[in-house]
Amino acid sequence: MPGSQHEIVVIGTGYVGLTTGACLARLGHRVTCVDIDAAKLAAIEEGRLPIHEDGLLELVTAGQKAGGLKFTTDLLSSVGEADFVFLCLPTPAGPDGSADMSSIVDVIGQLKGHLPSECVVVNKSTVPVNSAKMIADLLGEPRVDVVSNPEFLREGSAVEDFLNPDRIVIGSDDPLAGERVGALYLGSRCPVLVTDPVSAETIKYLANAFLAMKISFVNQAAEFCDVVGADVLEVMRGLSYDPRIGSEFLNPGPGWGGSCFPKDTRALAASARALGRPMTLVDEAIGANDEHIAYVANVILEACESFEHRPKIGVLGLSFKANTDDTRESPALAIIDRLVRYPAEVVAYDRLARVEDTAGLARCDNLTDVLTGADVVAILTEWPEFTELSPSDFSGTMRGNTIVDTRYVLDTGLFAESGLRVVSVGRQRPRIDKR
Ligand code: UGA
């Protein structure tokens, strides 16, 4: 679409930056992605992406081939002609949980005095409320607008979420700058909310906090179902028909994790406390998640109690959810840590997960090695290949007969017919009247 193409610089090539850059190039813009890590950029240029993200490699390759997507470490020469500069930088949690803004502050310090006038700085990083103003003050360039444009990309479906968003949120004090950013998302047919920067930044944190609270509620409900003898899947089905509750994000699991919910809920809780108005529900959701992870580990360990020898536990899945290789704050790793300390022998299989060495954990590169001789098997990530497993994959291979399915992917009745016991939180059915 000539005429609506723009020169865009994307700073940071993590999953948000790389997805944003590749998708903006796909939309016809001329994009330069900047990162300080030359080795990472060289790998990307050779088609080796630092993350596993469905459809991203294809977009990066197509963008490079068409000439609309470039990579460089040279920040200052890349921004000379920029219409838009996207900040996609990490904001990790500092010691007190608050977001560490040092990468952004550092980059803004370098950009100061080098941005063309009429350029718009678009912040996609998840930042404390009022950061757009802080960035504008640091830049000190009245002719450069700073706009907040939070991302709502799920790892594993980030490309799909970018190209088919459910909403676009733009926070700008200058209506024209907000409109210019909105126009970048050519052809998106979703609600576009143009608001002030403080509201846009708040939307990002509250969206993640709300979703994290929802899952903490579901997981605590699953524990309640264990006590009363209800079936959590039936219960959630019953809730889901109420349109005010909805059917999305009602899946119980081993706890929430990843690079966003834990960090963002802690940052929101820290800033609410610092502002003198604690968000106690968010604090509770974080605490409930930690307790749920411990509860799930105990369910696995209870299945080991009958063994007199040191049990061998086979773990299926290490990433924090399916379709990503990311293990940051993965509940699987927190659970494994407890199993290892039991002490159990823990062997794990995950085709893609990137894991630093985890004390006491042996990694296998195939399913059979994990299942062979296992006293108990625990499914911790809902990878489709685990959903497809049948009883014959386990019986005759495992030593024991209990599978703890923390992701509700197996057909309990079918497995029972083969003498295999599938245990899931909220489906253990001790009747309340038998307690
Ligand atoms: C999350 C949000 O969903 C995105 O909208 C947001 O843009 C992103 O954070 C971010 O801030 O960048 P993501 O961390 O990729 O995305 O993961 P989700 O799909 O939201 O899952 C988060 C955790 O909740 C996972 O551990 C997942 O297993 C768990 N979960 C999710 C459940 O246990 N049950 C569910 O029903 C849904």
What mean pLDDT comes out for the span 410-434?
88
Q: Is 249 in the pocket of ligand 1 (CB under 6 A)?
A: yes
Share of the chain above pLDDT 90, in %: 93
State mean pLDDT over 305-333: 96
pLDDT for 103-146, tens place per residue? 999 999 999 999 999 999 999 999 999 999 999 999 999 999 99
Side by side, the strands of the sheet bearing 312-316 are: 361-364, 345-349, 312-316, 376-379, 402-405, 421-423
Tell me how far the alpha carbon of residue 217 lies from the centroid of ligand 1, in angstroms. Answer: 14
**Average of pLDDT values for 308-334?**
97
Report whether 306 contacts 243 (CB < 8 A): no
CA–CA gap between residue 169 and residue 151 (Å, rounded) = 8
Could you give the residue numbers annotated as active site? 260
pLDDT score for 357: 75
| Ligand 1 geometric centre to CA of 326 (Å) | 12
Which numbered atom of ligand 1 lies nearest the CA of 322?
Answer: 28
Within the chain, what is the greatest distance between any pair of CA atoms?
73
255 Cβ inside 6 Å of ligand 1:
no
Chain segment 180-228, per-residue pLDDT in tens = 999 999 888 899 999 999 999 999 999 999 999 999 999 999 999 999 9
Q: Is 260 in the pocket of ligand 1 (CB under 6 A)?
A: yes
Nearest CA to ligand 1 atom 30: 256
Residue 261 C-alpha to ligand 1 middle, in angstroms? 7
Is the pLDDT score of 232 beyond 80? Answer: yes
**Is the CB of residue 257 below 6 angstroms from any atom belonging to ligand 1?**
yes
- Tell whether ligand 1 has an atom less than 6 A from the beta carbon of residue 320: yes
The 10s digit of each residue's pLDDT in 70-95 is 999 999 999 999 999 999 999 998 89
Cβ 233 vs Cβ 296: under 8 Å:
no
Ligand 1 geometric centre to CA of 65 (Å): 33
User: If you measure from the C-alpha of residue 29 to the centroid of ligand 1, how many angstroms do you get, rounded to a whole number?
Assistant: 29
**How would residue 428 be classed by pLDDT, with cut points 50, 70 and 90?**
confident
- pTM value is 0.96
Look at residue 429 in the predicted model and tell me its pLDDT: 74
Phi and psi at residue 70, to the nearest 5°: -130, 160
Going by pLDDT thresholds of 50, 70 and 90, the confidence category of residue 359 is confident
Tell me, using a 6 A CB cutoff, whether residue 408 lines ligand 1: no
Q: What is the pLDDT of residue 140?
A: 96
Residue of 124, 168, 202, 215 best suited for mutating to test ligand 1, as the one with most atoms within 8 Å of CB: 215
Nearest-CA residue for atom 23 of ligand 1:
256
Q: Is the pLDDT of residue 273 over 70?
A: yes
Q: How confident is the model at residue 433 (pLDDT cuts 50, 70, 90)?
A: low
Instruction: Find out whether the beta carbon of 154 lies less than 6 Å from any atom of ligand 1.
Output: yes
What is the rounded CA–CA span in Å between residue 67 and residue 17? 18
Confirm if 346 and 315 have CB atoms less than 8 A apart. yes
Asked if residue 435 has pLDDT above 50, the reply is no
Total residues belonging to the chain:
435
For the CA of 152, the closest atom of ligand 1 is 7
- Say if ligand 1 is within 6 A of residue 155 CB: yes
Q: What percent of the chain has pLDDT over 70?
A: 98
> Which of 54, 149, 261, 424 is the best mutation target for the ligand 1 pocket, counting ligand atoms within 8 Å of the beta carbon and taking the most?
261
In this structure, the residue with its CA closest to atom 34 of ligand 1 is 251
Mean pLDDT of the chain: 95
Q: In one letter, which amino acid is 419?
A: G
Contact predicate 153/256, CB 8 Å: no
- The verdict on the CB of residue 321 being under 6 Å from ligand 1 is yes
